[in-house]
Structure 1
């Protein structure tokens, strides 16, 4: 390897003129500057190609996601969820009701979660935010600030209720659970916390002591009879793909029933999964299609489901139910 150590000139060497020395120093400085610039350029190219830096090679940096704000400055204004369409239906609906705490909110039952079979008894609970304070402001969704679905875990018993809230944030509703077994109470709501809307659904187990005999899920069908109506649907639900479901309601004489708006829509579809009671609430399109209620459903995954359709005729609410298997 060559020796790059600078040597002191011998005594008999001829000294360089001052002007030549200055010229040499200037040229050396220029060469060093060129080396530094090229080195910096190379380092920049390497950094850009590794994805760790910004620059023209990587394109503009995407802006950070911003939180969605809801009803700023008007927390008590009504709020409605948009009806599902093919373009906005989720590729696999979000499953709710599986946890007692989600999105920083907790469902806190009060007094008891055990109920006698066939006896009306109040069920009270609160929705609390981080720190344990009760939430007292909720957006109105489909005419109500909170929807409570109570279902037995074998999906044989279903109730869609609307508790009322006291000034302290305590919700109350009378429950009459007809048969022994384990039930799931699912609160579906949009809380307003710090000026932001927080839609979520939380669930808690309820117990009815006694001789519990689970009922097998009925076989899949696309038609059901409830009260004096025959209710059927057209369409095939698939996992992860939004598919249209058209629900028709006919009276005993075969004529289409005159559906009335119920909770801001011509019908409500609650889909519950067998096994874990995963909960999906699907909203219909705002107008009837050839006299039928049109939903867009993307099942959250394969499995067996029970679908409950609530509708209103002549001021009375009815519920039809079907089983469906999603492959």
Structure 2
């Protein structure tokens, strides 16, 4: 994640200070107030009602070039259903794109600790073994619950034959979705984000979306969100990290950046790439983001400090 970047369609991806927190999206008051018009892998698990406790696209903090977002499937570049005409396409909505397929080893797993197995099949039907490294990794793998209250950015391990394994700890029964964000190591290849459903059998009651709030407390840190998230046009999304009332000015680089942000659209879990703008090492980390449509989004910020990764989560609304 690097210079001016956008939320395109694993990714998301998705952070720094605002002197004053201003509205996120059209028709939305200051962050932390209800909208008026419409009103480690690291993990984040939000409460059912307000209180945030907890990323992409993936991009370096003053390092690597940002990856391009996935094109809209069979759209010829036009906006998809429910998407603003000028907005980049959202990703992770299909299991296959441009001949590449996310092949999940099994569609179900158990609650608690388990190992997820998957591969990326190429246009020839064989497992892909060569990827272009982006943000320090050949492939980024994210698991999120359908209600967006649980989030894991995992670090899978690839075998020589192109098989991947990732250790996950899913807290409870329910519906989940996995995302693979990668770029094949072939000429002219673009970044692709694929998504597949994963379920954990058992009694399941979806949690309510956490309330819109300008701050998130996680592991003794406070992260403040400010900026704008507007449908169809880029806007600044900034976050500020502090601890014990003091700004954190020595964030560690993590995946080539000082902050890693992933955003999802509520409802269909469209995965949005968000790229940082080279800020850091804190307390501010800033991103350029474009929402593909109006709606509610969940943003997950990963940041590392003193060798440990933390995840802060936010609910925001874009548009009226």
Q: TM-score, normalised by structure 2?
A: 0.72
Separation in structure 2 between the aligned mates of residue 97 and residue 181 of structure 1, nearest angstrom: 19
Quick check: which one's helix share is greater?
A: 1
User: Is residue 115–residue 209 contact of structure 1 (8 Å, CA) maintained in 2?
Assistant: yes
Query: CA 1:219 to 1:128, structure 2 compared with 1: closer, same or farther past 3 Å?
Result: same
Separation in structure 1 between the aligned mates of residue 166 and residue 317 of structure 2, nearest angstrom: 33
Equivalence for 2:157: 164
Separation in structure 2 between the aligned mates of residue 189 and residue 223 of structure 1, nearest angstrom: 31
Equivalence for 1:105: 100
User: Is residue 258–residue 281 contact of structure 2 (8 Å, CA) maintained in 1?
Assistant: no
Residue 219, structure 1, aligned to residue 211, structure 2: yes
Equivalence for 1:53: none
Equivalence for 1:55: none
Equivalence for 1:138: 131
Separation in structure 2 between the aligned mates of residue 277 and residue 264 of structure 1, nearest angstrom: 25
Structure 1 residues 1-327: aligned runs within 5 Å: 80-82=64-66, 92-110=87-105, 112-118=106-112, 120-193=113-186, 195-288=187-280, 291-327=283-319
User: Is residue 251–residue 280 contact of structure 2 (8 Å, CA) maintained in 1?
Assistant: no
Q: TM-score, normalised by structure 1?
A: 0.70
Separation in structure 1 between the aligned mates of residue 257 and residue 278 of structure 2, nearest angstrom: 7
State the secondary structure of the residue aligned to 1:196.
Answer: coil
User: Is residue 105–residue 128 contact of structure 1 (8 Å, CA) maintained in 2?
Assistant: yes
Q: Quote the offset at 1:124 in angstroms.
A: 1.0
Query: CA 1:291 to 1:121, structure 2 compared with 1: closer, same or farther past 3 Å?
Result: closer
State the secondary structure of the residue aligned to 1:317.
Answer: strand
**For residues 219-257 of structure 1, what are the alpha-carbon distances to aligned partners after superposition, in whole Å with 9 as ceiling and x for unaligned?**
111211011100012212110111111210000233335
State the secondary structure of the residue aligned to 1:142.
Answer: coil
User: Is residue 83–residue 286 contact of structure 1 (8 Å, CA) maintained in 2?
Assistant: no
Q: Quote the offset at 1:197 in angstroms.
A: 2.4
Separation in structure 2 between the aligned mates of residue 141 and residue 94 of structure 1, nearest angstrom: 20
Separation in structure 1 between the aligned mates of residue 145 and residue 213 of structure 2, nearest angstrom: 21
Q: Quote the offset at 1:82 in angstroms.
A: 2.9
Gaps of 5+ in 2: 1-62, 69-84
Separation in structure 2 between the aligned mates of residue 126 and residue 98 of structure 1, nearest angstrom: 17
Aligned residues: 242
Separation in structure 1 between the aligned mates of residue 228 and residue 104 of structure 2, nearest angstrom: 38
Separation in structure 2 between the aligned mates of residue 255 and residue 196 of structure 1, nearest angstrom: 42
State the secondary structure of the residue aligned to 1:250.
Answer: strand
Separation in structure 2 between the aligned mates of residue 127 and residue 136 of structure 1, nearest angstrom: 8
Equivalence for 1:8: none
* Alignment RMSD: 2.1
Separation in structure 2 between the aligned mates of residue 136 and residue 285 of structure 1, nearest angstrom: 31
Separation in structure 1 between the aligned mates of residue 65 and residue 95 of structure 2, nearest angstrom: 23
State the secondary structure of the residue aligned to 1:143.
Answer: coil
